[in-house]
Amino acid sequence: MREKIEKILNEVRDFNASTKEELDNFRITYLSKKGLVPALFADFKTVAPELRKEIGMQLNELKNIIQQKVEEQLQKFEGQQGDNSAIDMSMPATAMHGGRHPLSIVRRDINAIFEQLGFTIAEGTEVEDDFHVFSALNFPPDHPARDMQDTFFVTKNPDVLLRTHTSSIQVRVMEQGKLPIRIIAPGRVFRNEAISARAHCIFHQIEGLYIDENVSFADLKQVLYHFVQEYFGPDTKIRFRPSYFPFTEPSAEMDISCNICGGKGCNICKHTGWVEILGCGICDPNILISSGIDPEKYTGYAFGMGVERIAMLKYQINDLRLFFENDLRFLQQFEQA
């Protein structure tokens, strides 16, 4: 493993892209899901336990060096895009352009639908502790999400990290003990993933939680049916598939008919006619107990969706990176949204 890391490190240090396409190929070779660096992380489980800390640090350092190399070399090609050069960036953006970011538009519209159903908005901090992100949500100590290759830890103390989902907000609301609870928790989350057209290390979620007496899966389905038909249109088809999450039981993933191809099959829906948009389920009793709620009296449901995924479907955007590049040509398309 050490030899492979050193070999890749030497290749990366000597790399100098002459075109943006060459830089994209470099990034795909090393950082894409099937790239060399994720392959090393996949082989990490074969490393001897006494070497894992050392090798893990080397792997994270290698990944950071490659990402920094990509960012540094990308700067020399930005001038070729001609996107911001003729714009006075000191002028007030709203007065000059009147545009809104598509993620802000989608988040606003989703919030509005659930607020009409009686949900209130709850917010929390992006820097969290292990208990509220993992332990209180029934993640076992050896769960892969706790590994350094999946989570950003803020300090050497593994108890402090950037939240990987907004479920931590739900835990803090449950701890307050004010029942019933009917909230949505929108916010930015972080996961240690390679950046590509379909993945990013930063993204946004909206999670929902409803806890009261006699809450059932039927209640959950009815709320989600209403959301989909309000947001995507009354002709949108919906299906639920059994799934697994540590914090819900039973659990399901919800798909909608692909609004890009009309369900006929395309690259976006992988020619199935369906696109998964959220996960959901009935709150596991252990979750309620860890927050001081009596599971014999109360039940609840939870759901969570990625704002970027919804925005890509809504506006037929095929590259997730566009949401984070601040290209005004892209953002100005949403002026009237």
- pLDDT tens per residue across span 185-226: 999 999 988 888 777 889 999 999 999 999 999 999 999 999
pLDDT in tens, 132-173: 888 888 887 766 665 655 788 887 777 889 999 999 999 999
Token duo for residue 127 = 């820097």
Which residue range(s) make up the domain with 17? 2-78
55-64, 73-82, 131-140, 246-255: least confidently modelled range: 73-82
50 shares a domain with 162: no
What does each C-alpha distance from 217 to 22, 165, 183 come to in angstroms? 50, 22, 17
One domain for residues 156 and 225: yes
Does residue 81 have a pLDDT over 50? no
Residue range 289-296: mean pLDDT, rounded = 92
Distance, CA of 252 to CA of 224 (rounded, Å): 12
**Are 35 and 108 part of one and the same domain?**
no
The model's confidence at residue 125, banded by pLDDT at 50, 70 and 90, is very high
* Angstrom distance (rounded) from CA 161 to CA 158: 7
Q: Are residues 215 and 282 in the same domain?
A: yes
Give the whole-angstrom CA distance, residue 167 versus residue 242.
Answer: 20
Same domain, 169 and 45: no
Q: Are residues 129 and 68 in the same domain?
A: no
Q: What is the rounded CA–CA span in Å between residue 97 and residue 92?
A: 8
Residues 62, 169 within the same domain: no
CATH number of residue 260's parent domain: 3.30.930.10
Note whether 135 and 197 are same-domain residues. Answer: yes
Is 88 domain-assigned?
no
Q: Which amino acid is located at 193 in the chain? A: E
* Residue indicated by tokens 């799934």: 243
User: Does any domain span residue 96?
Assistant: no
Q: Residue 200 in contact with residue 33, Cβ under 8 Å? A: no
Count up the domains in the chain and report the number.
2
Q: Identify the burial level of 329 via C-beta atoms within 10 angstroms of its C-beta, where 0-12 means exposed, 13-18 middle and 19 or more buried.
A: exposed
**Spatial separation of the C-alpha atoms in residues 192 and 202, rounded to whole Å:** 9
236 with 275, same domain: the answer is yes
Q: Are 330 and 322 in contact (CB under 8 A)?
A: yes
What is the predicted pLDDT for the residue at 147? Answer: 62
Question: Per the structure block, which two tokens stand in for 262?
Answer: 């009309």
Q: Name the residue among 327, 275, 330, 278 with its Cα closest to residue 301.
A: 278
Pair 161, 57 in one domain:
no
Output DSSP code: residue 284.
P
- Cβ contacts of 221-229, under 8 Å, gap ≥ 24: 223/117, 224/254, 224/278, 224/280, 224/303, 226/113, 226/117, 227/110, 227/113, 227/114, 228/254, 228/256, 228/277
Residues 147 and 215 in one domain: yes
Same domain, 140 and 223: yes
